[in-house]
Amino acid sequence: MIFAFIFFVSSQSNWQLISTLRPGIPNKDLFGRSVAICSTQQRVVVGAEWADNPSTNKSRAGALYVYDYDYRGRNWTQKQIIYAEDSDDIEFYGLGSTVEISSDCNTIIAGAPSSNMLSQVSTRQCGAVAIFEYNGAFFEQTHVGKPIEPIEGGGFGRTLAISTDAKYFAAANYNKFSAVEVKFEGQVEVHSNVYDFDKSELRWDRTVLDPPDNLLNGNRYRFGNKIQFLDASTIIISADDLLDLSTSGIYIYKKSFNETTQSTFWRLINDGINASAFGYNNIGESFSMPSTKQDFIALLATNETNTGIIFLTRNDSTDVWEKIYSIDLPQGYFASQLYFCGESYLAATGKYKENRQTSKNVLILFKNVNGKFQFNDSIFEPAEDDTVKLLKKNVQSKSENHTELHLNFLSSFAWDQERCFRFAIGSMSKSMNGSEHIPYEFGRVYVYQASNFGFHHISAHYDLMPIIGTTFFSALLILLLVAVVIFYAIKFKRSRANRNFHANDPSMS
């Protein structure tokens, strides 16, 4: 029982907040705009899209904060702030709008959609992607990903996906717009790190994935509003049409090889997964597919009454996607994004509407139970702690006219994909005044861990030092208790033997 007490923590919630990450020096920089977490080396990366670059004095150049786990302190500590270095033709702005990290924690890829391309004809806010590699001491910039076809206001890197080894990344050329702002329909590029045998070196190849023909005939769509790599050769892209929801769908591309040209290309293997036939629409809003199960997909959808999640499977004989089942979100819950972790968990970010006037952001978690996903937990913004109260007090002491933190809970979300026992939630600090975005310095990232986290979750990389220490202490305590029991048992036995000896000794009569 003593080991059960040490390693398994009981709680009413299935997930516990174990750490809150904030920058060493808080700034009005949208800290928490994006987040990535990796368990192999216990690392968290946080994007601050509007951070100023002190070395260049550029406003809103963007930055990445790197946190590593401190086993002695049993918490994450800030190790580095990364700023992108401008290249000859790219001027970085908005680094950290999106961020991803490789499974070995040694490669960070981040989008900077507000970046400008400096050429004969300047292309403003065409966007760029920066790659950083860990050299054993810190991360250094190794590559600048530029769009093949720069588009004014294209925002390359606003949506981003990478393969687990970070040898491939995909980003979309589409910016934020409304249905009346007709600029362009979206375009996805795949960049791959390949070996050039002629030059005996690695180089980055770039390929454009054009939208399918049925979308080209649409009214107003966004191709690439979400991208996901399943593996190094399979990528899923979603598109939604702001005027015609029936044309929204999910498109799957497979990397192929052209024997004639001796080159690789990406082939569309699915004409679009659309669930309008099932009585749902708005299918392109979000999707997720487990990387280990490529014939199973979850689609976020809406019907006339509520939001739901549709689970589809691919029929091997007909190659048609068929509905297995659907689940409605709990009453008052509305989702906007989906995130699988393996085949065990599915997270949905969204809102909970208490009434018509008020709503709050919420993370809804589902768990696979006997082959079907069921509601597991819901997580809202944590209550204020002493640190938050002190921050508010400091703000008031500066005579500023606000006391709220303006946290955008769930401005970003990331699973620890290695074991699915941990996830991170970004909460940038920002408010709106009409169309104006007003940043504050209170952004943070919350790290949650499964309440039943124990030995069955642990490998050589997972919190091993604290557990080894606890195990050693427990074993030492048990040995000490055993030694005390043996000592008193021997003492009692000797005392009893002495009493018997004296009782039988005639000389003692």
pTM, entire model: 0.83
Residue 1 pLDDT level (bands cut at 50, 70, 90): very low
CB environment 242-281: b (16+ within 10 A), e (fewer): beebebbbbbbbebeeeeeeeebebebebebbbbeebebb
Q: What is the mean pLDDT of residues 286-315?
A: 85
Residue 38 pLDDT level (bands cut at 50, 70, 90): very high
pLDDT at residue 58, rounded to an integer: 96
Strand order in the sheet with 188-196: 160-162, 168-172, 188-196, 201-209
Cα 110 to Cα 80: distance, rounded to the nearest angstrom:
15
Is residue 225 within 8 Å of residue 241, measured between CB atoms? no
In 3D space, the residue among 360, 234, 339, 333 whose CA is nearest the CA of residue 286 turns out to be: 339
Give the strand pairing for 160-162 and 139-145: unpaired
Q: Decide: residue 48, CB within 10 A, 0-12 exposed, 13-18 middle, 19+ buried.
A: buried
Cα 83 to Cα 34: distance, rounded to the nearest angstrom:
15
pLDDT higher than threshold 50 for residue 180: no
Cα 366 to Cα 77: distance, rounded to the nearest angstrom:
31
pLDDT higher than threshold 80 for residue 270: no
pLDDT higher than threshold 70 for residue 394: no
Listed range (75-79, 289-293, 406-410) with the worst mean pLDDT? 289-293
> Pick the residue with more confidence: 157 or 500?
157
Cα 249 to Cα 34: distance, rounded to the nearest angstrom:
25
pLDDT higher than threshold 60 for residue 460: no
469: three-class secondary structure by DSSP: helix
In 3D space, the residue among 376, 379, 363, 368 whose CA is nearest the CA of residue 325 turns out to be: 368
Q: What is the mean pLDDT of residues 41-47?
A: 95
Listed range (9-23, 296-310, 471-485) with the worst mean pLDDT? 471-485
Count the helix, strand and coil residues of the chain and give each as a percent rounded to the nearest 5.
15, 45, 40
In 3D space, the residue among 252, 232, 358, 244 whose CA is nearest the CA of residue 297 turns out to be: 252
pLDDT at residue 264, rounded to an integer: 82
Listed range (235-244, 251-260, 367-376) with the worst mean pLDDT? 235-244
Cα 73 to Cα 428: distance, rounded to the nearest angstrom:
26
Is residue 190 within 8 Å of residue 210, measured between CB atoms? no
In 3D space, the residue among 361, 367, 340 whose CA is nearest the CA of residue 452 turns out to be: 367
pLDDT at residue 184, rounded to an integer: 53
Looking at the DSSP assignment, which residues form a beta bridge with residue 446?
A: 20, 425
Cα 159 to Cα 163: distance, rounded to the nearest angstrom:
14
Residue 69: both structure tokens together? 């786990």
* Count of beta carbons in the 10 Å neighbourhood of residue 475: 11
Cα 279 to Cα 358: distance, rounded to the nearest angstrom:
29
Mean pLDDT value across the chain = 82
Straight-line distance from the first to the last Cα atom of the chain, in angstroms, rounded to the nearest whole number: 51
Return the biggest CA–CA distance within the chain: 119
447: three-class secondary structure by DSSP: strand
Tell me which amino acid residue 261 is: T
Per-residue HEC secondary structure of 134-188 comes to: ECCCCEEEEEEECCCCCCCCCCECCCEEECCCCCEEEEECCCCCCCCCCCCCCCE
